[in-house]
Structure 1
Amino acid sequence: MLSALSIVVSSVYLKKNICIQAFVPYLPYYLIGLIFLQTAFGLIELSHPDNSIPVNRFVTPLHIVPEWYFLAYYAVLKVIPSKTGGLLVFMSSLINLALLSEIRALNTRMLIRQHFMTRNVVSGWVIIWVYSMIFLIIIGSAIPQATYILYGRLATIVYLTTGLVLCLY
């Protein structure tokens, strides 16, 4: 996509009178540098080492590690003992996240909120929600022990209730 953008000049430059010859060309300088950086310091190096173990279908490892952006939702699944309950809580957390993203995009509701509520109340709920999400990420990367399961359940309850409160404001 970046190479297509560099071949066909972006529409931002068409609206301004800029000399295109003054730019450093994307091809080959930046492209070669990006390819070198990706091969030398690739994303596989940033992954968890347990993901590089050869697969054995008959043995499930104790510590299954998903990618970092799935860890909070993996923690939600890990701390609920029943499969159906875990799936329902998992889906409610995804719906909660989708509702938060949609409600924040509505300008009229944001203007109404600014008139009737101070920013400190909203920012307090947002801080609690973000910290519970970070705590769920930490719990998702930990080995499932009784203490982590208890903390994960508490963080899941806080995450869902603060998300619901933010959706209702």
Structure 2
Amino acid sequence: MGALHHIILDTDIGSDVDDALALALILGSPEARLLGITTVYGDTAPSGYAWPGRFGKLAGQEIPVHHGLEQPMSGREVWWPGHEGSLHDGLENEPVEEEDAIRYLTSGRSQKRPGEIDVIAIGPLTNIAAALESDPALRAQRAAPLDHGGGGFGMDEAEHNFRSDDQAA
């Protein structure tokens, strides 16, 4: 077994399977410990962001989920919002964190272990950019990888996550 990776997942998890699959891979990896999930872009209200925590429970893990920014910094309209989690009954009964994504990303919890927590951003980079604006010292303090799921080769247009908030990217 390789080294243990402590991870915060920043995601626009919604109706597409891609982010749910990434979450499942992290939850199923013995080399990964998911510390928290931050949601971004679109329906980040409790009804939309509670279901990643439910997926954690299904995997036998209690994962705190923090709601992030709904609107991109670029001012672009959110594509196809408002239906995240709509097929999951009882989400209103799922526990959710009061602390928002920006406070969580800049909190002492992640800064007590600089360089030890990987942030994996698989949505628009709105929360990440807002956290850096909120706490400019965060760049130097974290000194940990920021992995982003975006971009593409041979595409005629920008990849969705970059296009959704090019200002944050």
Sort the TM-score into its range (normalised by shorter chain). Answer: under 0.3
From the CA coordinates, give the structure whose radius of gyration is larger. 1
Q: Which is richer in strand? A: 2
Q: Which is richer in helix? A: 1
> Structure 1 length normalisation: TM-score?
0.21
> Structure 2 length normalisation: TM-score?
0.21
